[in-house]
Amino acid sequence: MQYIVMDMEWNTAYSKKLGGFMNEVIEIGAVKLNDALEELDAFSVIVKSQVGKRLQSRVKTLTHLTNEDIANGVSFQTAIRQFSDWVGSEENIFLTWGDGDIRTLIKNHIYFLGQDILPFVCNYADVQKYCQSFTDVAGSGQQLGLSAAAEKLGINPDAFPHHRALDDSRLTVACFRRVFDAEKLKKYVYRCDTDFYARLAFKPYYITDLNNPAVDRRAFYCLCDMCGGKVRQEKKWKHTNQSFRTEFYCKTCDRHFRVCVRFKQLYDGVEVKKTYSEIVAESEEKSAVPTVTESTKS
Ligand SMILES: [Zn+2]
């Protein structure tokens, strides 16, 4: 088994063909590691942009790549052939910091080669998710940037200063080595089958129609979040701001409170988020202070 730690740089450009903006890959960098995480080889290629003619200033500042560098690069088609040859035919696990790089690579692959799978990628793991699970933001839903994560793991990111694709791959490798545990990694690794690509292409959205069969109406049943007793609903459920809300009154506690229920359709289920907030009467106005939030996934 080989690990391919990959990073890319891209430039956002308007595509006439798509009628919208796309992230065009301008550099691919990668490091190949064996089972013991020893570096076997490194890869770096600059891709000649075909959609965007000029680099965004943000990209120039971050990467120190110039318009001239990009003009002298190879086409995406050639870059992918070289990269695929370099990856080779041994069983691999691709690792990227967040899934943005792999999504962008797939989109470019579709755009330039008309193929929606990456034949040289056997397995994939989001190394950001994996590394974060060893830090104090684990389970918070927060996403750490590579440099911030490196610092939390006791690595000085300034030792990898250029933000070119290969530098960022090497910094990712340093983070990965610090927390590597083959057993723990397993639950982050996905086989790159059709389900994997469908999951990656799926865009989560909030359900706004109560008649959607995915909506579990039991989520609207509420008890007092202070005493657990039965409550009186004071208003009809109303849809605002991607969630459904209403107000309740608890006789036992003599208090009014608001409940917000939000349904998010994920690839493999619906996530329900229910928030209780206090309604405090301030002269004529009412303001709400969130008290409890509960999340469930079905
Ligand atoms: Zn109560």
Domains annotated for the chain, with CATH where assigned, are 2-201 (3.30.420.10), 206-297 (no CATH)
How close are the terminal C-alpha atoms of the chain, in Å? 35
Q: Which residue has the higher pLDDT, 55 or 32?
A: 32
Across the chain, mean pLDDT equals 91
Phi and psi (nearest 5°) for 75?
A: -65, 160
Q: What is the largest CA-CA distance in the chain?
A: 75
Distance 247 CA to ligand 1 centre (A): 13
For residue range 120-168, list pLDDT tens digits in order.
999 999 999 999 999 988 877 788 999 999 999 999 998 887 788 999 9
pLDDT of 223 strictly over 60 = yes
Report residue 7 as tokens. 């990073």
One-letter identity of residue 120: F
CA 240 to centroid of ligand 1, rounded, Å: 25
Ligand 1 midpoint to CA 282 (Å): 21
Distance of CA 238 to the CA centre of its chain: 31
Where are the alpha helices (H) located in the chain, listed in sequence order? 57-63, 67-71, 76-87, 100-113, 127-132, 146-152, 165-178, 182-185, 194-201
Instruction: Measure 216 CA to ligand 1 centroid, in angstroms.
Output: 24
- Report the C-alpha gap between 267 and 204 in whole angstroms: 7
Ion ligand 1, residues whose Cβ is below 5 A away:
224, 226-227, 229, 250, 252-253
Distance 233 CA to ligand 1 centre (A): 13
- pLDDT for the residue 284: 46
- Mean pLDDT over 280-286 rounds to 58
pLDDT above 50 (res 107): yes
CA 293 to chain centre: 23
